[in-house]
Each structure stands twice: as structure tokens, then as C-alpha cells.
Amino acid sequence: MGKQSNKWTAPVSKNKDYTGIIEDLTHEGLGVVKIENFPIFVEGALPEEEVAFKVVKVGKKFGYGKLTEVITQSPDRVEVMDKVYAQTGTMPLQHLSYDAQLKFKKDQVVRVFDRIAKMPEVPIADVIGMENPYGYRNKAQIPVRKIDGRMQTGFFRKNSHDLIPLEDFVIQDPKIDEAVVAVRDILKRYHIKPYDEENHKGDIRHIVVRRGYYTGELMVVLVTRTSDLSRRNEIIESIKEKLPELVSLIQNINPDKTNVILGSDFKVLFGEDGYHDTLLGDTYFISHQSFYQVNPVQTQKLYQTAIDFAELTGEETVIDAYCGIGTLTLGLAKKAKHVYGLEIVNTAIKNANRNVQVNDVSNVSFKVGAAEDLMVEWTDRNEKVDVLVVDPPRKGLAKEFIDAVLTMKPEKMVYVSCNPATLARDLKLLHEGGYEVLKAQPVDLFPQTHHVESVVLMSRA
């Protein structure tokens, strides 16, 4: 690294070409190559490969390069289905063999347990993968735009709002891909105007399709800019005729200039606001704004792992925090004395209460509110809890929640995580507060991407 007027300069320059050997992958699956110890992240490159790349961005601590040639290939490299999936970011790991993807994901968990949690001794099992790591997504949120004068559906180019037309998403349930195209063509036939994001005009913004993997039930949500929808009745009849599995057709109105897909207002055009699917033997009603895991096959493995880790005997009082519509709650209830589900989203709790009735479960109670607030109330009343199960969003647990756990002192805790980094951060705090981390089981819910879920068992030390 050179000096120039006492000012540090990077050993690489933007728009210049270089070659190097990839040493590692970042947690997002980018290849890491070093020039004079300066890391450059190269998308599409794999460890041990010699690659040629053009530097496209130079920062103070690292840069980004664009892969121009793979000079020597990794044995883990596989042929990509289509470059478009890399351009949209829907399958960023499609060039990596599935066995190698699972190893990469385990390495991510091992790494954060070592570096962030400072717990290299915790046993971490191999990642539970899928037999067929494609066609797994049970939900699609597809933007609608005008391209060359025609209505198109597809996906945005990474880091932009340029729509790339796309009909076969590969990782989505093929029936969902077919439904999106069918609905788009019906809207086109009735001259519904696609959304013009720049001028905030047009009618249809997104087509959202959700499908019950085990029931086959289909829900379609038309996200519109205004409540007006011309030729509404004809559109409804045409969609019903084209999609015999349809049980719910919703118009969701989002008048805001925003990246958020769904608005707060909606109309039920056909059926009711929800469809059914089954999980671990229970039937669930899922409304259009409710969270439901997008990979039904792997969700069963994830939740079964959490239930197995809890080792319930039928005598325990359990809290399921961040319970959503009650999918894990009902699974736990089969083996517990009583389970309390905590959730901040009111519509999710309405679904959850309905699901309790549908499945004839009597040992479950749901409470609406922020999990950390409800936990503080619980500890203030000196209520005893034997097992605490948490499945928080990507940001992990709030500090107030962890403080409440350390006051409440449940004997056992099962942490279901979708973000290894925040998981490791939280485990460190819980360990400092008296919990021993016993084991971790990663599960692959998002094949072809860098995401990995984990289930961790803890007990009072």
C-alpha cells in the first residue's frame, strides 16, 4: 500500500482489471480476494478459484469487484440456471452446489458462535437441508410495471427499481408462478394500468399470491394504488374461472409513495381474508397480512426441532414469544401443560385464536402486545415459567426482553433464529446472565440464498 502526501491510498483503482485467488465467502456469499491484504468482494466467485475481476467500488476498508472470468474453477461450482436470478438477487448462491451451500451455512453459524458469542465449544449440528431445494416458496409478491408499452411482471434488478420481466422464479411453488401470469394476463385483458412509480400513477402495483402447500388453497391479493378498480366484477369472475383452487381474492389499497408492499386498507372481493394450510398435523387459517413461514417442508423440520429441544413432559408452563398465528404454539401445546403465545400484531392473534378453535386446543392462551412488555408484566407478577421459546425477527431480542428473561429465570430456553449474528449477540448476553448454551441445529429454509435458520437450546447454569 502506497503513501501519497501522507494520505493512505488503496492498492487497487476503480475500473481497473485484476486477478487473484478467492480465499473465503462473506456471510452474504460474496467471494473474498485480497490485493496486498485489501479485501475485495466479488459476487459469483468461490473459494480456491483464480478469477479475473474489474474493481467497481473502492472504500476505506474494502472494495467490490465484478467477476469477468473464472480462470480455475472450484469443484463446488455448478452451472447456473440463468444469469437473471443473480441480477435480481433471488438465487445468489445458484452457482454453488447444494451440499456446499449447506456447508457454507453451517460455517456461518460456527463463525458467529466463535467470534460474536465467544462460544466455540458449543456443538453445532450439520444443517438440515432439502431433498429438492427448488420450488419451495409458498408466497410471491410480484411487482407490476409497464415495459415497452406492455404490462409486465418480474423482479427488480438488485439495488434498483428497474423491473426485469420474469415468469419462472424456480424457487417458488410452480403453481404460484402460473397464477401470477394468469392474473397479470387477465388484468391486461381488461386494460388495468400498471403502476408508474416515478409519477405515482396507474392502478396495479403488485400481485401477491399465497398457496397452501398441503391444501392447495390459493389466495390472490391485488395491490392497487387507489380503491378504484375498473371492471371489478369481470376481473373477479375471470380470476375465479382461471384459478379453480382460489379461495380468497383480496384488493389491498396502498396509496402511499413507498417501498412497503401492502397498505392498511383492503376489500375482500371473493371468499374471505384467509386460506388454510396444515403444519405438524394442525390446520391453520392465514390472512393476507399474517406472517407464515414461506418454506412449508422445512418449517416442519424447524418447528419439530424446537419442540424436541424443549423436551416437554406435559407438566410445563411454556411461553412462546413472537408466536404469530400460533404455528409453533400449537405444536408445543401437544406436549405442555399450558402455552402462552405473545404477539404484537393484532390480526395474527385473531388468526391464532381461530386456529385454537379449529384444532380444538384447550391449553393455549394468546396475548397481544410487544413481547418485551408482556414479559416484564409477567415477571412483575412473579409468574413461574418452565420453558421459554422465542422466534424473534431478524433484529433479534430487545434488551428489555433479555432483562425480563434474566429476572424470570425459566429453567429452559429454546431460541429459533433467522439471523446468526443477532442470535450470537443475544446468546452472549443470556450466557452472561446465567444461561448455558447446550447445542445448536441449523435448518435451511431458503435454499439458493445465504439465509440460515437455527434452533438453540439453553438451560439455567
Catalytic residue among 58, 236, 418, 452: 418
Kindly write down the DSSP assignment for every residue of 115-148, as one continuous string.
Answer: HTS--TTS-BPPPB--SS-SS-BSEEEEEEEEET
Cβ neighbours, 10 Å, residue 124 = 19
Residues 59, 208: Cα–Cα separation, whole Å = 38
- pTM for the whole structure: 0.93
Q: Report in angstroms the alpha-carbon separations of 325 from 286, 288, 346, 390, 422.
A: 7, 12, 10, 14, 23
Q: What was the pLDDT predicted at 382? A: 81
Q: What was the pLDDT predicted at 6? A: 62
Residue 107: which residues within 8 A CB-CB, separation 6 or more? none
Q: Which CATH architecture has domain 139-279?
A: Beta Barrel (2.40)
Residues 231, 268: Cα–Cα separation, whole Å = 16
Provide CATH 3.40.50.150 ranges for the chain.
102-131+295-460
Phi-psi category of 448—alpha, beta or left, where left has phi over 0 and alpha has psi -120 to 50? left
Provide CATH 2.40.50.140 ranges for the chain.
3-77
pLDDT tens for the 461 residues of the chain, in order: 444 456 778 999 999 999 999 999 999 999 999 999 999 999 999 999 999 999 999 999 999 999 999 999 999 999 998 889 888 989 999 999 999 999 999 999 999 999 999 999 999 999 999 999 999 999 999 999 999 889 999 999 988 889 999 999 999 999 999 999 999 999 999 999 999 999 999 999 999 999 999 999 999 999 999 999 999 999 999 999 999 999 999 999 999 999 999 999 999 999 999 999 999 999 999 999 999 999 999 999 999 999 999 999 999 999 999 999 999 999 999 999 999 999 999 999 999 999 999 999 999 999 999 988 898 888 888 888 999 999 999 999 999 999 999 999 999 999 999 999 999 999 999 999 999 999 999 999 999 999 999 999 999 97
- The class of domain 102-131+295-460 in CATH terms is alpha beta
Contact 65, 42 (CB under 8 A): yes
Cβ neighbours, 10 Å, residue 381 = 7
Annotation marks residue 418 as catalytic: yes
Angle between helices 420-432 and 399-408 (to 10 degrees): 40
Q: What was the pLDDT predicted at 172? A: 96
CATH tag for 3-77 (out of 1.10.287.180, 2.40.50.140, 3.40.50.10330, 2.50.20.10): 2.40.50.140
